[in-house]
Structure 1
Amino acid sequence: MSRELARPALFFVHNASVKSCLRAQQSLVRSCPPPPRKLAAPFRVSGFLQKTAPWLLGRQSAASISKGPSLFSGLSESTKRLFSSSASPRVAELDIGNNGFLLRPRRVITDKSVGYWLVGSAALVFGIVVLGGLTRLTESGLSITEWKPVTGSIPPLTQGDWEAQFEKYKESPEFKLLNSNMTLDEFKFIFFMEWAHRLWGRVIGLSFVLPGLYFILRKKTSPRVGRRIFGIALLIGFQGFIGWWMVKSGLSDHFLENYIEEGKYKDNHPRVSQYRLATHLGLAFAVYLSMLWTGLEVLKENRWIKEPKQALRNISMLSNPVLKPYKYAAAGLFGLVFLTAMSGAFVAGLDAGLIYNEFPYMGEGFIPPKSELFSSFYARRKDDSDLIWRNMLENPVTVQLIHRIMATTSFVAIVGFHFLSNRLYRKNLIPRIIYRGSHGVVGFAVLQVTLGITTLVYLVPTPIAASHQAGSLALLTSVLVLGMRLRRPRASIQALLGTLARTR
């Protein structure tokens, strides 16, 4: 294989005119300075190489290479496929040594089919987040008391299997303290909710790992995207472990213990830890956002390659230093919305939405009494040194107030960001697609606030509460898409776009 790859390099070594053409192309990649003794440049140059560029850029099939110049004659089929791709451009790394050039073709633009697959995988993760919310709202998460990653995919099939599962559930604190009158038919409902949630997670894992291996082995991904796919696959596997770690916290026998100290907080309501619930939800958001960001980036780069001149005009507009604070504001907005969603996980974990079911008041004022917000009842230490942070994370009243404050702050920030976008668009400083994206963010924010208030006022009805959780991820998605549109491409893509714009 290495000898066949070196065969085109022999031509470069013995042809001085070609080497001069290569040196002339260095001016096209000033925005991407090469490392020492190495030139990274789009492989589309004048003269003879301009004729062979279609093969190197992957615009002709391997079959057509056999009919091409004598430079590629005699190469094996695997080598021809390496130099050709029906999907996307390549560039050539040229190691400049004492004896000439060594050609190392590599993929820069990932196949757009990978982008569509990543976006579809993100949609599956979006669905499991919604299903997880329904599982929490119907209190079904503790119905399966075992973690069997493989055999757990099959539900009970016979009456005996169902009775065996029900007997296991009867040993859990949730049954003993809350559901001691539950029948087998009622148990089947909550079991199927949790089983469907776990099965969906397994489907996501298989539908990501297997196609991911296919795309990487078939060299349809750039090395950069291949590393991201590997990282996301690890996150998916870790998420399965975090899910069971969360469920295990609700099966602990400490819920059955008596009060240790009079006047101190003792949780005797079997449910998963709000800390672990927030971790599980946050990791699900991270997997979803990683898939979506990478998929949208792949599709965006493929779209840029089709219209390089229009892409360069947008990139030039986004390179304006005036937009630097605007980009920072978009990044800050993303972080604020994400933290607001995580505070909602604490509200769900503590059932904090079932108190103070009015808005904007909480009792007689906008803020509850200080004695309710920072009560020594929730402190675990005798000197009450953990009074503040325990109330902020474990007191349902304080947790709900924090979520209200963060949600209101996020909404005001989104509206202010939209006014800023409107001002910049009127001055022709941002593309229209970004201005329209800010409209979408405002629309999702209004919908999310409406769902949140409705959920609170009507005592957390399951359909509206599940829609509120889905709305948080939809709002975060709209902010992510806006950030993607504001992002400039990496240097190698800019160099490739510049070359393609000059040759079209």
Structure 2
Amino acid sequence: MLNSHMDLDEFKKIYYMEWTHRLWGRFIGLSFLLPTAYFIARRRVSVPMAWNLVGISGLIGFQGFIGWWMVKSGLKDDLFAPGSHPRVSQYRLTAHLATAFVCYSWMLLAGLRILKTRSLLANPANAMKLVETLRHPAMIPFRRSVMALTALVFTTVLSGALVAGLDAGLIYNEFPRMGLGLTPPRSELWDKFYSRKEDGSDLWWRNMLENPSLVQLDHRILATTTFCYILALFVYARRGRVAAILPKDARKGVTGVVHLVCLQAALGISTLIYMVPIPLAAAHQAGALALLTGTLVLGQRLRVPQPTLRLIQKKLAAIPKQ
């Protein structure tokens, strides 16, 4: 029985979107699994890369399971009662998105490692100079800062999934204010309505994960923190010892991340003030993936994996000395 707020045409639209999504997911899975089986069977990849491919294939399958588990949460009878709004669990939606982003990141890093190894082996002498530069003591805190940024971006993405799962973007559609101030009233942020224990011991975390007002505020705080962090990282890369030794491609990577976070901030604010139109919301999600990509690429440019280093040293040793 259809919900009273949805006519047949609206149901068909949602149905075909879901059907297309499932079909596309299965196509992606097969387009990765079949070549993986072929390359491993024909021994066209190294053992470490074979394990990477098997792991990614397993994660793709797990992603399908998470998707089924998520959809299942929206099929409860009480969600179809008159006046109710059918939705999936925001927790399972977040898990589904997180798995997708982890899977993508794994693919990206595996591919980047192959490309970087090939590039470094083409000129092992220059590669060793890069290794020495990246071993400089000034690079250690900078590299850690980029790792922390990657974790911050991923956390912000997860908070955005909670916003989507709760339709929290449909309230307080202005920026930077939320109603009469920068934040909603304290009583609204820590509402006892969301607590399920008599002693209120779950009040804080249930509000953070289930209260749309606080969920949107958390996402704003994380997004603003990410924006300011990247601007600070840009300044960090342009001053002191880091600026003098930072490789050219890493310097470009920092600039690229600045551009991406500015675009993502503009998309986020636009999505909010225009009441979350689907095209803008989708662009905002794509912007999150682009920003995560930028941070991963930057991090990859700041390290040389040990297996690659050993190959470089082996190739240098094989070069006759004049």
Give the corresponding residue for 1:116: none
Give the deviation of 1:268 after TM superposition. Answer: 3.6
The answer to whether the aligner puts 1:494 opposite 2:312 as a matched pair is no
Give the deviation of 1:216 after TM superposition. Answer: 1.2
The answer to whether the aligner puts 1:375 opposite 2:191 as a matched pair is yes
Give the corresponding residue for 2:76: 252
Structure 1 pair 488–424 and aligned structure 2 pair: CA distance change class (3 A) = farther
SS in structure 2 opposite 1:414?
helix
Q: Which string of whole-angstrom CA distances, capped at 9 and with x for unpartnered residues, describes residues 388-409 of structure 1?
A: 1111111100000000000000
- The one-letter code of the counterpart of 1:240 is G
Q: TM-score normalised to the size of structure 2?
A: 0.95
Give the corresponding residue for 1:411: 227
Q: Which string of whole-angstrom CA distances, capped at 9 and with x for unpartnered residues, describes residues 46-98 of structure 1?
A: xxxxxxxxxxxxxxxxxxxxxxxxxxxxxxxxxxxxxxxxxxxxxxxxxxxxx
Where do 1:237-316 residues align within 5 Å? 237-255=61-79, 268-316=84-132
Is the CA contact (8 Å cut-off) linking 1:278 and 1:345 kept in structure 2?
yes
Identity of aligned residues (%): 51
Whole-Å separation in 1 of the counterparts to 2:27 and 2:243: 48
Give the corresponding residue for 2:55: 231
Give the corresponding residue for 2:136: 320
Give the deviation of 1:207 after TM superposition. Answer: 0.6
- By percentage of residues, which structure has more strand? 1
Q: Which residue of 173, 190, 194 maps to 2:18?
A: 194
Is the CA contact (8 Å cut-off) linking 1:425 and 1:432 kept in structure 2?
no
Q: Which residue of 198, 208, 224 maps to 2:32?
A: 208
Structure 1 pair 307–333 and aligned structure 2 pair: CA distance change class (3 A) = same
Where do 1:34-45 residues align within 5 Å? none
Is the CA contact (8 Å cut-off) linking 1:319 and 1:488 kept in structure 2?
no
- By percentage of residues, which structure has more helix? 2
Give the corresponding residue for 1:120: none
Give the deviation of 1:422 after TM superposition. Answer: 1.4
Give the corresponding residue for 1:176: 3
Q: Which residue of 318, 326, 332 maps to 2:148?
A: 332
- The one-letter code of the counterpart of 1:249 is S
Give the deviation of 1:421 after TM superposition. Answer: 1.1
Whole-Å separation in 2 of the counterparts to 1:426 and 1:274: 41
Q: 4+ residue runs of structure 1 moved beyond 6 angstroms? A: none
Whole-Å separation in 2 of the counterparts to 1:424 and 1:270: 55
Q: Which string of whole-angstrom CA distances, capped at 9 and with x for unpartnered residues, describes residues 184-230 of structure 1?
A: x4433222211110011101111111101111122221111111111
Give the deviation of 1:327 after TM superposition. Answer: 0.9
Give the corresponding residue for 2:244: 428
Structure 1 pair 378–465 and aligned structure 2 pair: CA distance change class (3 A) = same
Q: Which residue of 181, 193, 217 maps to 2:41?
A: 217
- The one-letter code of the counterpart of 1:195 is W
Give the deviation of 1:256 after TM superposition. Answer: 5.0
Q: Which residue of 262, 270, 283 maps to 1:446?
A: 262
SS in structure 2 opposite 1:271?
coil
Give the deviation of 1:467 after TM superposition. Answer: 0.3
5+ residue gaps, structure 1: 1-169, 259-266
Whole-Å separation in 1 of the counterparts to 2:261 and 2:243: 25
Whole-Å separation in 2 of the counterparts to 1:270 and 1:190: 12
Whole-Å separation in 1 of the counterparts to 2:33 and 2:121: 28
Whole-Å separation in 2 of the counterparts to 1:359 and 1:295: 39
Whole-Å separation in 1 of the counterparts to 2:240 and 2:24: 43
Whole-Å separation in 2 of the counterparts to 1:289 and 1:379: 36
SS in structure 2 opposite 1:178?
coil
Q: TM-score normalised to the size of structure 1?
A: 0.61
Is the CA contact (8 Å cut-off) linking 2:196 and 2:202 kept in structure 1?
yes
Give the deviation of 1:427 after TM superposition. Answer: 4.4
Tell me the C-alpha RMSD between the 2 structures: 1.7
Is the CA contact (8 Å cut-off) linking 2:63 and 2:96 kept in structure 1?
yes
Whole-Å separation in 2 of the counterparts to 1:489 and 1:377: 50
Whole-Å separation in 2 of the counterparts to 1:461 and 1:437: 31
- The one-letter code of the counterpart of 2:25 is G
Q: Which string of whole-angstrom CA distances, capped at 9 and with x for unpartnered residues, describes residues 130-150 of structure 1?
A: xxxxxxxxxxxxxxxxxxxxx
Structure 1 pair 187–427 and aligned structure 2 pair: CA distance change class (3 A) = closer
Whole-Å separation in 1 of the counterparts to 2:10 and 2:164: 23
Structure with higher Rg: it is: 1
Whole-Å separation in 2 of the counterparts to 1:417 and 1:187: 47
